[in-house]
Structure 1
Amino acid sequence: MEDDKASYDMLQPLLNEVSNLRSEISELKERRAQLINELKDLRAKRRGLVEELRNLKNNLRQEREKFKALKEERNKLLNNLRTAREEYSTLLELARDKKIEVENLSREVKMPISAIREEINRLEWEIQTKVLTLEQENELINKIKRYEKLLEKALKAANGRNEYLELKATLASLRLQISDLRKKISNISENMKKIGDNIARIKQEISARVALISELTNQINEKQKNLDALINELKSKSARLEELRNEYNKRVQELKKQKIAKIIEEKKKRVEEKIKSGEKRLTLEDIKLLYGSSEDLVDE
């Protein structure tokens, strides 16, 4: 029993180290599983954020395309508005000049066109039907010329009045067109502002996602580094545990051999004592004990 206790005492430090290593390895494995789960969660969060970032970038691209299309449409309408304003300004000036021209002609012509024509016809008929002196005829001819000039001015005033009315109608149409263009431009500008606000908001969300992804990446890298170090430590301790197990088994085998060798030695002494006492009958085992080598007997 004392020998067994002594043998156990010799193995105890080795057993203690094995026990400690097993405990440390168990803790390391738990920590490894924890880190792996944490990494899975972090990578899942990052994947989700990357997907959100991809969607946000697609939304940003679409909003920019909408903004660009609206800007092009607004520029086109602004060009149309500028052209309409220039045309309106030109026609307004023409209308003002035409109005002044018509007013001036109207002040010179007090008679209606029909009355002037009747007067010309009457004078021509008078020349053709009456016997007139040369002086009277020349006077009537001069009157006809004056009425013809007056008719020319009256006709010019009438045409000018019609042109003026046409200009006013065109100006009214242009005012409606300009008003319609302004409304369209205003609506487009409002939509552009909304889209611009959306673009600014999406950019902020993209910046926030990028920052979160960067932060998660740093955490992942740090935890991966810790996991790699832990795995290396686990490998090292597992290798050491294997060494200790081999050492333990080796020592146990040696102790067993020593114990068996001791038992064999004791049996051999008893056989020798039997021979010394004169006993000649030996068993096969007694013969093996006497003539066999200790190493061969232990191995058996």
Structure 2
Amino acid sequence: MSNNEKRVNFEELRQKLTALKEEKKRIDSEARELAWKRDEINSRIKRLKAEALELKRLRDEANAEVKRIKEQKNKIKMERARKIEEIKKIQTEIKNLMAKKPKKEATVLQKEIKAMEWKIQTTPLSLQEEKQLVEKVKQLETQLNIHIKIEQLNQKKLELTAELRALEARAKSLHEKMMKEVDKSRKTHEEMLKRLEEVRNLKKEAENVHKMFLQAI
């Protein structure tokens, strides 16, 4: 082999070596890029999983709050039913007493009772007269007690009605709060599903990138 031929062969080998080096450099660069991309995707997957887990916690927290509020609402519902029943009973009792209500007003009866008691205490009376007055006082007191009982029942009815309104206001407030929590639960659940869908898509992408990485090295 002549010197010229040797030089040609050497030059060809040098060019091939240079080409191989360039090819290796390109492959290494591509492999690094694919590895970086794969790691970046895995990092995003990790972050999305953490976000999904946090969203799940918030959703479960909202659901637990909804359950707690429902229990409160049920208690209020039962309490409200009891008070309504109690008011109905009082109304019936008032109606029955109104049928027996004396024509004389309570103040008139009180004056008459006071006058008779004063007469019994200060006026000399025969036993029969005193007995008649005592009996009359008892009758007037019975009539007065009807007035007093009606007044007491009306007062109790007012108190129960106020309590009933307070319960209704509380129930309304709880319902509004519950609906907010329901909405919060729904939204966080939807966001969680979005994150999980992203995770699934990224996993597929990561698998493809990893395959390309293995092919590149």
Q: Does the pair score TM above 0.5? A: yes
Residue among 153, 157, 174 paired with 1:181: 174
Which is further off, 213-222 or 113-122? 113-122
Which residue number corresponds to residue 24 of structure 2?
32
Which is further off, 191-200 or 147-156? 147-156
Which residue number corresponds to residue 118 of structure 1?
111
Which residue number corresponds to residue 223 of structure 1?
216
RCO (CA 8 Å, sep 6+): is it higher in 1 or 2?
2
Which residue number corresponds to residue 140 of structure 2?
147
Give the RMSD, CA atoms, in angstroms: 2.9
Which residue number corresponds to residue 268 of structure 1?
none
Deviation track 1:127-185 (CA, whole Å, cap 9, x = no partner) reads 66486794x76655444333222222222221111111110111111111111111111
Q: CA deviation at 1:25?
A: 4.1
Count of residues in correspondence between the two structures: 215
Q: Normalization by structure 2: what TM-score?
A: 0.83
2:8 counterpart of 1:43: no
Q: CA deviation at 1:223?
A: 1.9
Which residue number corresponds to residue 208 of structure 1?
201
Q: CA deviation at 1:217?
A: 1.0
Residue identity over aligned pairs, in percent, reads 19
Q: CA deviation at 1:106?
A: 2.3
Which residue number corresponds to residue 77 of structure 1?
69
CA distance in 2, matches of 1:200, 1:64: 9
Structure 1 unaligned blocks of 5 or more: 1-6, 225-300
Which residue number corresponds to residue 61 of structure 1?
53
Which residue number corresponds to residue 257 of structure 1?
none
Q: CA deviation at 1:118?
A: 2.2
Structure 2 unaligned blocks of 5 or more: none
CA distance in 2, matches of 1:86, 1:220: 67
Q: CA deviation at 1:40?
A: 1.4
CA distance in 2, matches of 1:182, 1:138: 65
Q: CA deviation at 1:98?
A: 1.3
CA distance in 1, matches of 2:200, 2:173: 40
Which amino acid in structure 1 is aligned with residue 77 of structure 2? R
CA distance in 2, matches of 1:53, 1:181: 39
Residue among 144, 148, 168 paired with 2:161: 168
Residue among 149, 161, 175 paired with 1:156: 149
